[in-house]
Amino acid sequence: MQVSKRFRPALASVVAAVLPWMLMNPASAQSFRVQCPTYTNLHPDPAAASTAAAIAAAGTGATYASVFPGAIKCQEIGGSDGFATMGDGHQIYLFGFAPLSGIADLTSGLPGTQLASVFNNQIDLSGNGAKSEPAAIMNTGVLYANAPAPMIAIDEGDELFLTLSNVGMIMRPDLFEQHTVHFHGYPNASSFFDGVPDASVAINIAGSFTYYYTAPDAGTYFWHCHIAPPEHLQMGMVGQIFVRPRQNQINASTTLLSALQASNGRNRGLVNDASTNACSDLLCTGATPLPAVDTGAKGGGKYAYNDGDGSTRYDYDVPIQMMGFDPNFHFVGMTFNPEAFADMKDKYFMLNGRSYPDTIKTSFDNSLTTGVNGSPVPNGPMTTQGSDGADRPSQPLHSLITLDKTNGKTRALLRLSDLSVTEHTTLATVGIPMKVIAQNARLLRDLDGNNLYYDTNSITLGGGESIDVILDASNTPVGTYFLYSTNLDHLSNDAENFGGMMTEIVVQ
């Protein structure tokens, strides 16, 4: 039926009046639901009598943190579409995950995971609170897919509540795409939260689902959508999660090994039982044996794993997600045509969603995180205008590695992960060696506690692999070095030579 011109203003006024009401009343139009509990069985209310009794029963010196280690942490993401700008200036269509919480931290290159008290703050001046109202979810999430997906980071002992809200794809309204979250390689006991739709659930447009995870083992993992994985991974639905070890909680006056051997440490699942070399806590699998030699190293630092000897200590955390895009596949994905999976071939190769030289751009415009219209930053990430008129960065994470010899901070932990569906990639350095300490979130150590780390100038990863590498510049001359792919076709931005999968290591 065609609406006559004289009735169109009336129709427009009805829509203008009803649509906001529908968005503010989820039961009437959709089912967005954002969950982040304040207390759980593992992290009960500190003011409850039962909590005080449990702490008292633990003995002298027991505290809430020692009896209930970790914390409740939350994050919200949106299934969406959007655009990313490649190194040759080409804007490429993608669908991926949009940040709906922790936006200020994510825009600054940090993980978006927040404590429940921050996540649930409805009037959050820091820009890290969740978008819990339907209107805010839609206004922020539409056309805001990030490449890579928003970064997640938790600590051993934490409980993570991750809410996925599917806002749909505005550039492909014909697709009623479902989305899920699958933590690849993550030791998750429940298939219901595993994101594989055959055994769990898939999230429809205008719906939400909250995944629940505990944090068993430290290490570098990654996550992706498990709906039509070859397509959704190629289109950009990949991200990184890392788990920080409990060893970070050991104070500077205590040796790492003694803390790990202590009964309090065993009860908290800090690491292995000294007598049986087996873990005595449910949340610790005992994947890392105690070190064969007591180095006398003390706590107070940042570590990649519960090593007991300080060998995984680092000063800077550098998460790097290796990615690749086939521009033809992405173009077809936006133009309502069938996609040729057999012909898929990446031509843009990226670190954290950017090709060189964009990989080293670090400037950010804080106004982009507050919902205020801001201009694109000349030396910052490319931005896309959202449905609310605000420009937001679609590729916020740089991969510049800076090591500062003047203040003694010379060790960088590279958390490298790859979820390419078409390529193996070799990354290399010249002039500064890489020490490989872990593969696929497992410390390289034998059952007798001997470290099996090795120094190399190149590593090779395929889709579904992660490697933890430490760069130590303490004996490296000041200067600029490179981390780059030795696959020569990966050092290009489609038809443009010189670029691709490369970043700089600055020793100053």
Average pLDDT over residues 250-259: 89
Q: What is the pLDDT of residues 453-493, one digit of tens each?
A: 999 999 999 988 999 999 999 999 999 999 999 999 999 99
Rounded to whole angstroms, the Cα distance separating 251 from 100 reads 35
Residue 264 pLDDT level (bands cut at 50, 70, 90): very low
pTM attached to this predicted model: 0.86
Q: How many Å apart are CA 80 and CA 140, to the nearest integer?
A: 10
For the ranges 265-269, 346-350, 474-478, the lowest mean pLDDT is seen at 265-269
Task: Give Cβ neighbours of residue 256 (< 8 Å, ≥ 6 apart).
Answer: 247, 250, 297, 298, 299, 307, 308, 309, 310
* Phi, psi for 389 (deg, rounded to 5): 90, 0
Question: Lowest-pLDDT range, 32-46, 179-193, 232-246, 455-469?
Answer: 179-193
Q: What is the spatial distance between Cα 34 and Cα 304, in angstroms, rounded to a whole number?
A: 31
* Neighbour-count burial for 470-494, b at 16+ CB within 10 Å, e otherwise: bbbbeebeeeebebbbebeebbbbb
* Tens-digit pLDDT profile for residues 125-166: 668 999 988 888 998 899 899 999 999 999 988 999 999 999
CA–CA separation, 366 and 320 (whole Å): 23
| Neighbour count for residue 340 (Cβ, 10 Å) | 11
Contact status, residue 163 vs residue 209, Cβ threshold 8 Å = yes
285: which residues sit within 8 A by CB, 6+ positions away?
Answer: 187, 216, 217, 279
CB of 344 closer than 8 Å to CB of 324: no
Tell which wins on pLDDT, 345 or 342.
Answer: 345
Instruction: Identify the top-confidence range among 154-163, 275-284, 324-333.
Output: 154-163
Output the pLDDT for position 286.
Answer: 53
pLDDT at 168 over 70: yes
| Distance in angstroms (rounded) separating the CA atoms of residues 267 and 251 | 17
| Most confident of the following: 22-36, 180-194, 413-427 | 413-427
What pLDDT does 366 receive?
40
DSSP string, 421-454: SS--EEEEESSS-EEEEEETTEE-B-TTS-B--E
Residue 336: Cβ-neighbour burial (10 angstroms; 0-12, 13-18, 19+): exposed
CA 348 – CA 341 distance, rounded (Å): 17
Residue 389: what pLDDT? Answer: 77
Q: pLDDT tens, 375-402?
A: 444 455 567 777 777 777 888 889 999 9
Q: In 3D, which of 379, 345, 377 has the Cα closest to residue 359?
A: 379
Lowest mean pLDDT among 91-100, 197-206, 269-278: 269-278
Structure tokens that stand for 340 in this block: 């040729």
pLDDT of residue 125: 62
Q: In angstroms, how far apart are the furthest CA atoms of the chain?
A: 86
Name which of 191, 32, 200, 146 is nearest 384 in CA terms.
146
pLDDT at 11: 30
Mean pLDDT throughout 64-78?
Answer: 93
- Helices 8-24 & 134-141, crossing angle to 10 degrees? 110
Average of per-residue pLDDT across 294-302: 93
Q: Is the pLDDT of residue 282 over 70?
A: no
Joined tokens for residue 98: 């949009």
The pLDDT of residue 27 = 39
Is 390 in a helix, a strand, or coil? coil
Residue 482 and residue 503 in contact, taking contact as beta carbons nearer than 8 Å: yes
Q: Are 180 and 202 within 8 A, CB to CB?
A: yes
Give the model's pLDDT for residue 294.
92
106 Cβ contact list (under 8 Å, min separation 6): 99, 112, 146, 150, 151, 396
Tell me: pLDDT of 100 over 90.
yes
Q: Mean pLDDT, the chain, as a whole number?
A: 83
Residue 425 CB neighbours (<10 A): 22
State the pLDDT at residue 288. Answer: 76
Q: Give 224's strand partners.
A: 182, 238
Positive or negative: CA dihedral 237, 238, 239, 241: positive
More confident residue, 30 or 209: 209
Token code pair at residue 31? 């089912």
Instruction: Determine the pLDDT at residue 124.
Output: 66
Query: Exposed, middle or buried by CB within 10 Å (0-12, 13-18, 19+), for 381?
Result: buried
pLDDT at 263: 37
The predicted structure's pLDDT at residue 380: 53
Q: What is the pLDDT of residue 381?
A: 56
**Over 80: is that where the pLDDT of 310 sits?**
yes
